Amino acid sequence: MGIIDKSKGYLTDTNTYFGRHGYIFKKLWRELKKEKHSSMSCLIIGPGLENSLTDTSLEFTKTYQPFELANILTRANISDYTIDILDINPDVLNELKKTPTLLNISKLHTYHREVSNDYFQSFFSNNIIKDTPQNRIIKIPENVSSKFNLQLGDITRDSLPNEKYDVVICTVLLSHYYREVTGELYDPISRTLTKIENSIKSKGYLIDSEKYGPDNNWNLIAHHSVESPSIHPESTSLFRKK
């Protein structure tokens, strides 16, 4: 698999799926519900781009994490929020510029079948415009996309759009930079992960697939273990900063 295209200077593996980390997103929703939050500043690094949809119609937005996060914030009664979205690949950010925002969620894809039914059913349930045994089409309300700030950038090199976040999500990304993949002596875990962790407020949350255990600064709230034959960890964790 060609992962890093040096001619383009960015990763070519962008793939994602609706609900890929649904278990952990659901845990975050449960956490957020426990306390009153007046506003939330969030960051998603590398939301990805689904490239396995059988319906390749260009009208659909093929990235999900920003909407999955918006959905759980809304369901936790948090209406005042912003979501910064950082990606190295302009194609990913261009997905989020499509209007109207229509998501085509397949019910047949293996990953989608693994998503728990309540997670799927509670996803923008008031905005379903078509529902068939194969797929569900959702029209995302305009006021959701208006909360997104899109930024083109490289998390391993650039500084972050904001200094302090309440929630940061970074899944199936840094593993691409392991030395085994790039052939280069480059360790993002120690440097980039620390940068990400430092951008989170005290009592803020981190969802990621790279940090394997809590250290003194963090509590592990939940971990979802997934066997993966590839070197990219599919397992995810939810941490809360002390």
C-beta atoms surrounding 185 within 10 Å: 6
* Residue whose C-beta lies closest to ligand SAM: 46
Q: What are phi and psi of 137, to 5 degrees?
A: -105, 130
Peptide bond before residue 214 is cis, with ω within 30 degrees of 0:
no
As measured in angstroms, the least distance from the Cβ of 60 to ligand SAM is 17
Contact set with ligand SAM (CB under 6 A): 11, 13-16, 20, 45-48, 65, 86-89, 92, 154-156, 171-173
Dist CA 22 CA 147 (whole Å): 21
Query: In terms of CB distance, is 156 or 182 closer to ligand SAM?
Result: 156
Rounded (to 5) percent helix, strand, coil in the chain:
25, 25, 45
As measured in angstroms, the least distance from the Cβ of 2 to ligand SAM is 13
84: left (phi over 0), alpha (psi -120 to 50) or beta: beta
Query: In terms of CB distance, is 135 or 171 closer to ligand SAM?
Result: 171
Query: In terms of CB distance, is 155 or 200 closer to ligand SAM?
Result: 155
As measured in angstroms, the least distance from the Cβ of 234 to ligand SAM is 8
Query: In terms of CB distance, is 37 or 98 closer to ligand SAM?
Result: 98
Alpha carbon distance, N-terminus to C-terminus of the chain:
39
As measured in angstroms, the least distance from the Cβ of 162 to ligand SAM is 15
